[in-house]
Amino acid sequence: MKKLTGAQIVIESLIAEGVDVIFGYPGGAILPTYDALLDSKIKHVLVRHEQGAAHMAEGYARVTGKPGVVMVTSGPGATNAVTGIADAYMDSTPVVMLSGQVSTSLIGNDAFQEADIVGITRPCSKHNYLVKDIRDLARIIKEAFYIAGSGRPGPVIVDLPKDIQQAEHTFKFPETVELRGYKPTVRGNPRQIERAVEAIENSERPLFYVGGGVQWSGAAPELQQLARGLGIPVTETLMALGSMPASDPLRLGMLGMHGSYGTNTAVCNTDCLIAVGARFDDRVTGRLANFAPKAETIIHVDIDPSSISKNVKVDIPIVGDIKHVLTDMLSVVKGREGIAKRHAVWQKWVEQIHRWHKEKPLYENGKRADHITPMQVIGELYNLTKGECIVATDVGQHQMWVAQLFPFERPRSFLTSGGLGTMGYGLPAGIGAKFAAPDREVVVVTGDGSIQMNIQELGTAVEYGIDIKVVILNNYFLGMVRQWQEKFYNERYSYSAMSVPNFVKLAEAYGAHGFRIEKPEELAKTMKEAFATRGPVLIDIAIPKEEAVMPMIPPGGAMSEMLLA
Catalytic residues: 50, 112-113, 162, 480
CB 549 within 8 A of CB 258: yes
b/e burial code for range 207-220 (CB count within 10 A of at least 16 → b): bbbbbbbbbbbebb
Angle between helices 426-436 and 50-64 (to 10 degrees): 50
- The residues that bridge with 472 in the sheet, in sequence order, are 446, 540
Coil, strand or helix at 479: helix
Radius of gyration of the chain (CA): 24
- Angle at Cα 180 formed by Cα 178 and Cα 186, nearest 5°? 80
CB 86 within 8 A of CB 124: yes
DSSP assignment of 290-351 equals GSSTT-SEEEEEES-GGGTTSSS--SEEEES-HHHHHHHHHHHHHT-HHHHHTHHHHHHHHH
b/e burial code for range 308-339 (CB count within 10 A of at least 16 → b): beeebebbbbbbbbbbbbbbbbeeebeeeeeb
445 CB burial (10 A radius; 0-12, 13-18, 19+): buried
306 CB burial (10 A radius; 0-12, 13-18, 19+): exposed
Distances 77 to 9, 30, 80, 331, 558 between C-alpha atoms, Å: 22, 10, 5, 50, 42
- Give the integer Cα–Cα distance in Å for 290 and 268: 8
Compute the Cα dihedral for 378, 382, 387, 388 and give only its sign. Answer: negative
- Give the integer Cα–Cα distance in Å for 20 and 377: 35
Coil, strand or helix at 398: helix
- Give the integer Cα–Cα distance in Å for 537 and 41: 29
- The residues that bridge with 98 in the sheet, in sequence order, are 71, 158
- Give the integer Cα–Cα distance in Å for 305 and 302: 7
b/e burial code for range 112-144 (CB count within 10 A of at least 16 → b): ebbbebbebbeebbbbbbbbeebeebbbbbbbb
Q: How many CB atoms lie within 10 A of CB 288?
A: 12
Coil, strand or helix at 428: helix
Q: What are phi and psi of 497, to 5 degrees?
A: -75, 145
- Give the integer Cα–Cα distance in Å for 41 and 58: 22
